A = this chain, B = another copy of it.
């Protein structure tokens, strides 16, 4: 008999987030579930790891093929500790999310949700980050609950190419409005930062980060932003080899002293 798949679940909104609970619902029919997630929200932590302070793990519950562990560290710490200390064998799948808020376009770079998925991918585990375009702590995850299982099933059956994980974003709409899924590329864009400057009661200035997303290519129909704006679910394959192979050719033309071409 084939072994039941072992699925590692994590996120960056914390072990008590509604999005995590929704993701457990999505994957529970597919196998045994171990959750190792941050004890509190660790948004925008990217691939950060904790090196200066020690980490704590706390088992919350373990029942009927579902174990939940809270971790004091970042999403990537959660994955590393799960693989090294919590799980008895390498999981068949890692899923991260469902993030409360978009991780499309350049947000993939800052996202803790995607940081965890990338860490899974580095460890050669098929890994998917899921996000919903709704920051609300009580967001409606119906679209994700309806469409995520197909993606999970595909990845469990077919795997993913080496060094590749998936960045899946769900539009903020009703299930009946979803036009389908679209395999996309990452939109070229950036966050135009604006800081709100304030003065504290002791007369010290301080800054709060805010910002607006700027899309450099709003007309490009093969991008994740376009897909989401048109009520598609966007699926972007993310590469963990960051080398710009095109640029290697350009740089080799530069004349460096003593350079080996």
Residues of A participating in the B interface, judged by any CB pair closer than 8 Å: 41, 43-52, 54-57, 74, 76-77, 80-81, 83-85, 106, 108-110, 115, 118, 122-123, 150-151, 154, 158, 160-161, 163-164, 178-186, 188, 190, 193-195, 197-198, 204-209, 232, 235-248, 250-252, 254, 256-261
Contacts A/B (CB < 8 Å), 28 sampled: A44-B48, A46-B48, A46-B49, A48-B48, A54-B207, A55-B207, A55-B208, A56-B205, A76-B110, A81-B195, A106-B122, A109-B118, A109-B240, A150-B257, A161-B246, A163-B188, A164-B244, A180-B260, A181-B259, A183-B251, A183-B252, A183-B259, A186-B242, A232-B260, A236-B242, A237-B250, A239-B243, A239-B247
A43: B residues at CB distance < 8 A: 51-52
Indicate whether A181 sits within 8 Å of B54 (C-beta atoms), given known contacts A47-B46, A207-B81.
no
Indicate whether A106 sits within 8 Å of B185 (C-beta atoms), given known contacts A84-B193, A164-B247, A207-B54.
no
A242 touches which of B84, B108, B181, B198 (Cβ 8 Å): B108
A52 touches which of B41, B50, B164 (Cβ 8 Å): B41
Q: Is the CB of B122 within 8 A of A259?
A: no
Q: Is the CB of B51 within 8 A of A44?
A: yes
Give Cα distance in the complex from A106 to B122, angstroms: 8
A77: B residues at CB distance < 8 A: 209
Q: Which 5 pairs, one residue from A and one from B, show the smallest C-beta to C-beta distance? A: A237-B247, A180-B258, A239-B244, A46-B47, A46-B46
Indicate whether A45 sits within 8 Å of B48 (C-beta atoms), given known contacts A154-B254, A207-B56, A239-B242.
yes
Q: Is the CB of A161 within 8 A of B122?
A: no
